[in-house]
Structure 1
Amino acid sequence: MASFHARSNSLPSRQHPITSQIEENLNRLRSSQSASTSSSLGQQLNGVQDLHEYVEMLLQLPQSQQALSQEHQRKSVEQLLDGSLLLLDVCSTAKDALLQTKECTQQLQSILRRRRGVEGLSGEVRKYLTSRKAVKKAICKALKNLKNMENKDGENGDVITILRQVEAVTVSVLESLLSFVSGPEAESKMSRWSLVSKLTHQKKVASEEDEQNTNEIANVEATLRSFVKSQNIKHVEKLQNELQNSESCIQDLEEGLETLFRRLIKARVAFLNVLNC
């Protein structure tokens, strides 16, 4: 992939403050993507929001508009435009997943406040888990769509390079968010791994188990599955606390995702305005 520092007449001077801010935000986001707790994801969403605000500014510069209007850039521009629409679709899927999970979380909290003990609770727990299964199915489809945005070929001017790097970082953050909301893969998939694969991934699995402790949504689901198996009242007591943490986590992610969604729309409108000039 081309460097930001490559000279080209298609981009404003590399000292331009907008270009510098985009580069700085890209580097910051790349360095923070190894972490996937709710707190780190919130920070990444904020970073991507800022990134697309600068992209909107970049697209308003005459030099950028001139570069994107060149005939030899048409295919790349069309790919980026299609990509921006797909990002909006994936954001909508993520928003729906969070909303559905939050509503089920709130409903379960309400039921726990009204009832004492475990009697009659199993049915409600299964409803929650069924809803989560539908959420994971939608997320799996969205993740596959994001994978289709990778590895675009062709030589590009600097503006195209920057826009593709912004797209790539946005895809990465959305993948992390969707994976967080979905939670760890089902244990049944483990049975399809070869013995060699299991041994190779032992450390990775241990790391994922440690990370789950900071995934509020996954913690709720794990406790509910344990309750279904054991019917132990201790799981219910633990669950009340975890549901509150999960609801708070979802609320924060929803707010960050909603702001990103609006920024993506504005950046797309700016892109369309460039093409219509």
Structure 2
Amino acid sequence: MDFSAMNQTDSHHLRSNSLPSKPHPFIDQVDEHLHRFKEASEATSSCSSSELSHKLNGLQELHDCIDNLLLLPLTQHVLVEDSDTKPFDDLLEGSIRLLDLCDIAKDALLQTKECVQELESVLRRRKGSETFIASELQKCLSSRKLIKKTIYKALKTVQTKSCEQTQATPAIVSSLKQAEDVGYNVVESLLSFLAGPKFRSNSSRWSLVSKLVQSKRVACEVEETSRNEVALVDAALHSVCSQKTKKHDFLAQVENLQSSLKVFGSNIQELEGDLEALYRRLIKTRVSVLNIYNY
């Protein structure tokens, strides 16, 4: 992003010993973070939990830089000058929508964690017939489907809102809007991760299940095909609930599901902490912008 135009426009108002004539290091830091996110989004279309955690942490660092940028007199001057314009209103509205989306993601994480805990509880007991175990897991599967449905509905809303964000804005406001768009993309990726893949038909679903639960090569297959931990858990859960295997295979699938849940549960816990930390930084950024406007 080029901030030279902003510097030139306001130089006759703000040129002083306290402000350098070249772009401030905070501006360069924001640009660098935004560039990294752009490259990352072009490199991959799906994320594992570790990649999502890395992106959430990267967003926290981006907003730390933005908070520093908002302390600059030049930044505050531009925001005050444009505080009565539509781009500024869009900026404030967009920050609220992003916080709302984070709330949806937080709820989805909580519901997914509770679903994982219920699954682990059922599998730990492992008493009764295969039919009983499959029946109990089927209840968990129904809960999982409701979670997926809620997430898919939220994702449709995100796609509609992001299409509306296309306006020429002052450079600093444009930078904040780009950070907002990055936030949308990352949280949307998190929701897509939690939703897992859609199965188009029973036949394709069970074909995928059979491939995923055949051997210990599952983890490698998941990584190679850009699938995530959710895809693996969903596939293993569908497989156990199907009751279409011999007892030996059924027990193997139960063990595979337990193993997948153990890893997945730990990752969900980490993502919860990362998202909560980001949420606090987003609130801090919004408060900083409002304080500049109300000053």
Do these two structures clear the TM 0.5 threshold for a shared fold by scoring above it? yes
Q: Structure 2: 5+ residue runs without aligned partners?
A: 11-18, 205-220
1:171, CA displacement in angstroms?
Answer: 1.2
Comparing 32-41 with 180-189, which one deviates more in the overlay?
Answer: 180-189
Comparing 162-171 with 151-160, which one deviates more in the overlay?
Answer: 151-160
Tell me which residue corresponds to 1:239: 257
Residue deviations 1:136-176 (CA, integer Å, cap 9, x gap): 22222322232213353433211011111111111111111
Asked if the contact 1:65–1:274 (Cα under 8 Å) also holds between the matched residues in 2, the reply is yes
Tell me which residue corresponds to 2:234: 221
1:188, CA displacement in angstroms?
Answer: 3.8
SS in structure 1 opposite 2:168? coil
1:5, CA displacement in angstroms?
Answer: 4.6
1:55, CA displacement in angstroms?
Answer: 1.5
**1:264–1:139 Cα change, 3 Å:** same
Q: 1:15 aligns with which of 11, 17, 23?
A: 23
Q: Which amino acid aligns with 1:228?
A: C
Q: Which amino acid aligns with 1:43?
A: H
Q: 2:146 aligns with which of 112, 134, 145?
A: 134
Tell me which residue corresponds to 2:74: 63
**1:264–1:190 Cα change, 3 Å:** farther
CA–CA distance in structure 1, aligned partners of residues 136 and 109 of structure 2:
19
**1:166–1:107 Cα change, 3 Å:** same
1:15, CA displacement in angstroms?
Answer: 2.8
CA–CA distance in structure 2, aligned partners of residues 111 and 14 of structure 1:
62
CA–CA distance in structure 2, aligned partners of residues 133 and 4 of structure 1:
46
Tell me which residue corresponds to 2:163: 150
Q: 1:42 aligns with which of 53, 56, 70?
A: 53
Asked if residue 268 in structure 1 is aligned to residue 283 in structure 2, the reply is: no
Q: Which amino acid aligns with 1:41?
A: L
Q: Which amino acid aligns with 1:140?
A: Y
Comparing 67-76 with 52-61, which one deviates more in the overlay?
Answer: 67-76
Q: Which amino acid aligns with 1:28?
A: R
CA–CA distance in structure 2, aligned partners of residues 102 and 146 of structure 1:
23
State the identity %.
42
Tell me which residue corresponds to 2:181: 168
Greater relative contact order, per chain length (Cα 8 Å cut-off, separation 6+): 1
Asked if the contact 1:118–1:236 (Cα under 8 Å) also holds between the matched residues in 2, the reply is no
Q: Structure 1: 5+ residue runs without aligned partners?
A: 192-205
Tell me which residue corresponds to 2:214: none
SS in structure 2 opposite 1:149? helix
CA–CA distance in structure 1, aligned partners of residues 260 and 163 of structure 2:
36
Q: 1:179 aligns with which of 192, 202, 205?
A: 192
Superposition TM-score, scaled by structure 2 size: 0.80
1:87, CA displacement in angstroms?
Answer: 0.7
CA–CA distance in structure 2, aligned partners of residues 101 and 263 of structure 1:
24
> Between Structure 1 and Structure 2, whose CA radius of gyration is higher?
2
CA–CA distance in structure 2, aligned partners of residues 108 and 90 of structure 1:
27
Q: 1:211 aligns with which of 220, 223, 226?
A: 226
Residue deviations 1:194-229 (CA, integer Å, cap 9, x gap): xxxxxxxxxxxx9998122xx112211111111122
CA–CA distance in structure 2, aligned partners of residues 249 and 68 of structure 1:
39
Asked if the contact 1:5–1:14 (Cα under 8 Å) also holds between the matched residues in 2, the reply is no
SS in structure 2 opposite 1:69? helix
Q: Which amino acid aligns with 1:142?
A: A
Residue deviations 1:215-256 (CA, integer Å, cap 9, x gap): 112211111111122252221111110110110111111111
CA–CA distance in structure 2, aligned partners of residues 65 and 58 of structure 1:
9
Q: 2:91 aligns with which of 64, 80, 86?
A: 80
Residue deviations 1:93-152 (CA, integer Å, cap 9, x gap): 111111111111112112211224634112321222222222222222322232213353
Superposition TM-score, scaled by structure 1 size: 0.85
Tell me which residue corresponds to 1:159: 172
